[in-house]
Structure 1
Amino acid sequence: MPSEIPDEPHECPTNLTGLLARMQRAGQREQSVSLDALLDSVGRRSFAPFLLLAGLITLAPVVGDIPGVPTLMALLVGLSATQLLVGRDHVWLPRWLLQRRVARERFVQATRWMERPASWVDRLIKPRLTWLTRPPAHLPAALTCLLIALAMPPMEVVPFSATGAGLALTLFGLALLANDGLLALLGYLLTAGTLGVVITTIA
């Protein structure tokens, strides 16, 4: 049955290291981790957590390589981006999507692998070129992420293209989280390059 996502009592972490730490604690008492628990752990008050979660899961070794995972993350981004573009205050996600799960051991292994690069990235991000991240600039970012989401299912058959999509989503998520317009600019460039490769390969 469809589910309306409530506001969570805490804010989204302000850096990538904090986000990974919260993801690792999601649903600690369960043998598997659900998307619902992950969203509860990272926050649902803005578009950034949805992008970061989808991007990191797509990039994560072991987890992102599971067939169908990029498509599920595309659904997450597509639904949230569409609702942002039409001006909804709350993001609706279907219950069957929220209940998708991955084995905890596999998930924690993947997130721990990302801790070292995350600490390096955190030292680089800062508020700059904020006109590329503050409203109404979040709308073209959401539209670009929607285009990425639409292209992600065929990316499962184009080698390495899903990695480009995951990195672009992560860049946009970090850009909106930290008001770092340089990351948004890199996200636009990476999106153009990735979509160009996919279109050329499939055509």
Structure 2
Amino acid sequence: MDSQSKTDIQDILQRLREKGEEKEEMSVRDMIETTGSRSFGPLLLLAGLIAISPLSGIPGVPSTVALIVIVSAGQMLVGRDHFWLPDWILRKKIAGNKIRKGMEMLMRPAGFVDRFMRPRMRVLTRGVGAGFVAVFCILVAATMPPLEPLPFLASTAGIVLTLMGMSLTTQDGLVALIGIIAAPLIGFGVYSLLS
């Protein structure tokens, strides 16, 4: 489904950071074009990165990210090779300086992660496995809008979405497995925090 070869996550962040410096505002379309791909892995990775960055504290951002994930993962599930997003989502904008700051915060951890990513356990990133990842992403994204009123709590879902996006982008099924295992643990932590 997403056959993109190994991608340097730090490189994606750097491109977004530079574009955030150039533009006063960045639309979702600008961000997608900056990542240079119309495939699902980089889009899910981008959505996850936005959700775990300080950008998730901006009202409406977690719900927009959730909608992008649900729409794109739904298309992945039905076998499309490339995603389509409605124009009104692509026009949504975030201040360029916020994009720059958010991506800068993620650069160091991304460099650490990049050293370990490689194609393996591809059964989880292709065919039926990729379909399972798509369903999993939809379920995780559906938790984000209810968590949005609580500052930065939707970022917990962003961690899982980032792992799923990384796994599809780099064809690393081990990362998908880590995300699948981590999700209920993160969910239990959030539930404990709220109860």
Shorter-normalised TM range? 0.7 to 0.9
Question: Who is 1:55 aligned against?
Answer: 48
Residues 137 and 161, structure 2, Cα contact 8 Å, conserved in 1: yes
Asked if 1 retains the 8 angstrom alpha-carbon contact of 2:118 and 2:171, the reply is: yes
Alignment match, 1:3: none
- Aligned counterpart, 1:152: 144
- 1:164–1:190 CA contact under 8 A, matched in 2: no
In structure 2, relative to structure 1, the CA distance for the partners of 1:19 and 1:111 (3 Å cut) is same
For 1:144 and 1:80, the matched residues in 2 are separated by: 13
Match of 1:193 in 2: 185
Read off the aligned partner of 1:76 and give its amino acid letter.
Answer: I
1:46 — aligned with what? 39
Check 1:102–1:45 CA distance in 2 against 1; reply closer, same or farther (3 A cut).
closer
Letter in 1 for 2:43: F
Distance 1:55 1:179 in 2: 17
Name the counterpart of 1:4: none
Query: How do 1:97-136 residues align onto structure 2 when only pairs under 5 Å count?
Result: 97-136=89-128
Q: Aligned partners of 2:173, 2:128: CA distance in 1, in Å?
A: 13
Distance 1:69 1:135, change over 3 A: same
Identity %: 40
Q: Does 1:183 align with 2:189?
A: no
The amino acid that maps onto 2:51 is: T
Query: Per-residue CA shift, 1:7-32, capped at 9, x if unaligned?
Result: xxxx7871111110121233765311
TM-score, with structure 2 as normaliser:
0.87
Deviations along 1:88-147, one digit per CA (max 9) or x if unpaired, are: 344221211111111111210111121111111111212222222222311000000000
State how far apart, in whole Å, the 1-side matches of 2:115 and 2:101 are: 23
1:197: Cα distance to partner?
5.0
Amino acid at match of 1:49: P
Paired residue total: 192
Give the equivalent residue in structure 2 for 1:76.
68
Distance in 2 between the 1:129 and 1:159 partners? 36
Q: Which has the higher contact order (CA 8 A, sep 6+)?
A: 2
Aligned to 1:6: none
Deviations 1:55-79 (A, max 9, x none): 0001112x12112111100000000
Q: Distance in 2 between matches of 1:69 and 1:81?
A: 18
- Residue 108 of structure 1 aligns with an amino acid whose one-letter code is R
Structure 1 gap segments, 5+ residues each: 1-10
Q: Is the 8 A contact 2:117 2:170 kept in 1?
A: yes
- SS of 1:136's equivalent? helix
Stretches of 4+ aligned residues off by more than 6 angstroms: 199-203
- TM-score, normalised on structure 1? 0.84
